[in-house]
Amino acid sequence: MIRRSLLGLVIATLGLSAPAIAQTPPPLPADLQVLFWPAERREQDLRRMPELIPHARIEPSPTPRPLPQGEPLAIDSTAFMQAQRVAGLLVIQDGRVRLERYGLGLTAEDHWDSFSMTKSLTSTLVGAALADGSIRSPYDLVTDYIPELAGGAYDGVQIAHVLTMTSGARWNEDYADASSDVARFYLTPPPADLDATVSYL
């Protein structure tokens, strides 16, 4: 189950397409086309995405291990964060937190949609799964762990392909097209036979 869930998380996080579906999904309501929100809407609603977009919660560890603190960076990021409307800024060096600051009224306890940043975190989890043997090899086929994907876009695709976004699965990432795959991604329901806990963050 660990291997299956992690691979499903990788596929969902990297924003790759699910197995081919016969019907075309309806266009998103304009109000939920996240990529086209004005700045004011993003700042208001990216912190409450679970209320707006279908998702499933992935429970945190009951025994988290916070990263240790490093030597604080002697810089003042306030003006930069205000000018760029930055929600959060985190600098980690050699496994230690050297800078952690929040903007737009956010705190360390608040949520914010992480978009592509999640790819790096997911790759880290895959590395941990390889180290403890939950995943045998990055060159294993995705379908070895999620057989429900057989017969679709992921036949013959290795875990390494998914991690490097080279699976070959059809995916339209035109950010100017409201009907593109990336624009519809947040409202596309997960396949019924996949574990829902790995389909959305």
pLDDT of amino acid 87: 92
Asked whether residue 93 is domain-assigned, the answer is no
Asked whether residue 67 is domain-assigned, the answer is no
How many structural domains are present in the chain? Answer: 1
Asked whether residue 149 is domain-assigned, the answer is yes
Asked whether residue 144 is domain-assigned, the answer is yes
Going by C-alpha positions, the residue among 200, 126, 196, 114 that lies closest to residue 163 is 126
Q: Is the pLDDT of residue 31 over 50?
A: yes
Asked whether residue 44 is domain-assigned, the answer is yes
Please report, as a single letter, which amino acid is at residue 57.
R
Task: Answer for the pair 159, 179: CB distance below 8 angstroms, yes or no.
Answer: no
Which residues have C-beta within 8 Å of that of residue 104, sequence separation ≥ 6?
Answer: 43, 85, 86, 87
The arithmetic mean of pLDDT across residues 107-126, rounded, is: 87
Asked whether residue 81 is domain-assigned, the answer is no
Confidence of residue 28 (pLDDT cuts 50, 70, 90): low
Confidence of residue 190 (pLDDT cuts 50, 70, 90): low
Residue 86 or residue 190, greater confidence: 86
Is residue 134 helix, strand or coil?
coil
Task: Answer for the pair 193, 21: CB distance below 8 angstroms, yes or no.
Answer: no
Residue 97 or residue 18, greater confidence: 97
Distance CA 198, CA 7 (A): 8
Distance CA 165, CA 15 (A): 9
Q: Is the pLDDT of residue 100 over 90?
A: yes
**pTM score, whole prediction:** 0.63
pLDDT of amino acid 29: 59
pLDDT tens digits for range 62-74: 998 899 999 999 9
Q: Is the pLDDT of residue 77 over 50?
A: yes
Distance CA 163, CA 129 (A): 13
Residue-range definition of the domain harbouring residue 177: 2-17+27-58+111-198
Going by C-alpha positions, the residue among 107, 115, 69 that lies closest to residue 87 is 107
pLDDT tens digits for range 142-177: 999 999 989 999 999 999 999 998 999 888 888 778
Asked whether residue 142 is domain-assigned, the answer is yes
Cα angle value 187/193/199 (rounded, 5°): 40
Q: Is the pLDDT of residue 8 over 60?
A: no
Confidence of residue 200 (pLDDT cuts 50, 70, 90): very low
Asked whether residue 79 is domain-assigned, the answer is no
Share of the chain above pLDDT 90, in %: 41
Task: Answer for the pair 14, 122: CB distance below 8 angstroms, yes or no.
Answer: yes
